[in-house]
C-alpha cells in the first residue's frame, strides 16, 4: 500500500496529480526487476503484446527470502514467497531441456535472449499475483502466473517450459521431494498450474509424448536445434545441471491411494507410505 499525504494543507490539490503519475508508472513497472514480477500494479493490463496466464497452487515446507530457518532463530524463519522463485525455476528447466538440443554456448545465448541479462532486457516478462499464505505446516500459496512476451514464439516456449517445470519439479525448500511429514516436520513441495485446459497431465504416456513433441517444436521455432545433444554427466559426487537428454527418462507412477494435500486433515495419518507406494505398473517416457 502506498499513501500520499500533503506536507502543507494548501498542497492537497496536488494529490490527484501525483496519484496519476504513480498509477501510470506502475502500469509499466518501477525499478530494475520489473521483468521478474516486481514493481508492478495489481490488476494492470499486460504491457507486452502476447500474454497467457496460469492459475497455480503451491504447498511447501517453506519458501524463504532474507530470513531462512537457522540455528540462531531456532529454525523459525520468516516465510516469504517471491516472484523470482518462479522465474529462476523457469530458467532452470529451460536450461535442462535446451541442453539436450544445443551446445552450452548456444543454450546460454538463447537463455539470455529469452530472459535477459544485467545490461539487456529479455523477450519475456513474468508477474505473479498471489494470496498470502493461508496456513502453515505446510504453507499454502495460490494465485496467478502471467507470462508476457514480445512475440508469440517466445510465449509458446515459455508456457511449455512452465508446464514441464510444474510436473517435474517444485518450489522452495525440498523442491525435489514430494510433500510429506517426517519427524514432525513437513518436507517437500507440491504445486500445480492450470490454464483451464488439460493440466495437470494424467497417467497417459501418449499425452506426455505429444507434449514433448510440442516442446521441441517450441524450441525449434525460436532457434533451430543443432541435433540431439548429449551433455557430460560431470564429476562424480559433484552436482551439475540436470539435462533431459537421451540418457534421461520420465517415469509415470500411478498411486490410487494418494490424495491431494487439501484433503489431508492430519498429516500424521494422511498419505501413509504403505498407501503412497501401492503403485500400478510404471510407464516410461524416454526423453528425446
Question: What pLDDT, in 10s, does the model give residues 23-57?
Answer: 766 655 555 445 444 455 555 556 789 999 999 99
Q: Which three cell numbers stand for residue 226?
A: 543443432
Distance CA 58, CA 110 (A): 29
Q: With 0-12 CB in 10 A as exposed, 13-18 as middle and 19+ as buried, what is 4? A: exposed
The answer to whether the CB of 241 falls within 8 A of the CB of 96 is: yes
Instruction: Output the CA–CA distances (angstroms, integers) from residue 196 to 53, 69, 215, in the order listed.
Output: 10, 36, 19
Q: Is the pLDDT at 62 greater than 70, yes or no?
A: yes
What is the pLDDT of the chain when averaged over all its residues?
A: 82
Distance CA 38, CA 179 (A): 28
Q: pLDDT tens for residues 197-237?
A: 788 888 889 999 999 999 999 999 999 987 777 766 666 66
- Residue-level pLDDT at 277: 44
- Domain regions of the chain by residue span: 51-64+79-227+239-245
- Residue-level pLDDT at 283: 67
Q: Give the lowest-confidence range in 18-32, 104-118, 248-262, 273-287.
A: 273-287
Distance CA 125, CA 175 (A): 23
The answer to whether the CB of 207 falls within 8 A of the CB of 198 is: yes
- Residue-level pLDDT at 142: 92
Q: pLDDT tens for residues 78-128?
A: 888 888 889 999 999 999 999 999 998 999 999 999 999 877 889 999 999
The answer to whether the pTM exceeds 0.85 is no
Biggest CA pair distance of the chain = 76
Amino acid at each position: 500500500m502506498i499513501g500520499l499525504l500533503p506536507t502543507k494543507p494548501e498542497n492537497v490539490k496536488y494529490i490527484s496529480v501525483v496519484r496519476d503519475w504513480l498509477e501510470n508508472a506502475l502500469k509499466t513497472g518501477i525499478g530494475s526487476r520489473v521483468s521478474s514480477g516486481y514493481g508492478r500494479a495489481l490488476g494492470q493490463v499486460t504491457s507486452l503484446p502476447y500474454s497467457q496466464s496460469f492459475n497455480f497452487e503451491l504447498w511447501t515446507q517453506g519458501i524463504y527470502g532474507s530470513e531462512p530457518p537457522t540455528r540462531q532463530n531456532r529454525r523459525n524463519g520468516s516465510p516469504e514467497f517471491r516472484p523470482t522463485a518462479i522465474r529462476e525455476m523457469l530458467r532452470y528447466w529451460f536450461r535442462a531441456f535446451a541442453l539436450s538440443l544445443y551446445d552450452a554456448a548456444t543454450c546460454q545465448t538463447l537463455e539470455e535472449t529469452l530472459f535477459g541479462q544485467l545490461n539487456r532486457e529479455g523477450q519475456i516478462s513474468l508477474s505473479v499475483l498471489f494470496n498470502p499464505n493461508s496456513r502453515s505446516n505446510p504453507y499454502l500459496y495460490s494465485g496467478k502466473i502471467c507470462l508476457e512476451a514480445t512475440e508469440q514464439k517466445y510465449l509458446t516456449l515459455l508456457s511449455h517450459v512452465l508446464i514441464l517445470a510444474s510436473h517435474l519439479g517444485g518450489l522452495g525448500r525440498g523442491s525435489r521431494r514430494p510433500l510429506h511429514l517426517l519427524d514432525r516436520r513437513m518436507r517437500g513441495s507440491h504445486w500445480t498450474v492450470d490454464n483451464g485446459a488439460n493440466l495437470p497431465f494424467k497417467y497417459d504416456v501418449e499425452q506426455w509424448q505429444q507434449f514433448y513433441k510440442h516442446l521441441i517444436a517450441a524450441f525449434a521455432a525460436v532457434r533451430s536445434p543443432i541435433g540431439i545433444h548429449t551433455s557430460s554427466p560431470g564429476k562424480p559426487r559433484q552436482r551439475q545441471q540436470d539435462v533431459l537428454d537421451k540418457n534421461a527418462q520420465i517415469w509415470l507412477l500411478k498411486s490410487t491411494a494418494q490424495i491431494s494435500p487439501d484433503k489431508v486433515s492430519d498429516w500424521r495419518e494422511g498419505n501413509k507410505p504403505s498407501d503412497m507406494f501401492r503403485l500400478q505398473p510404471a510407464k516410461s517416457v524416454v526423453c528425446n
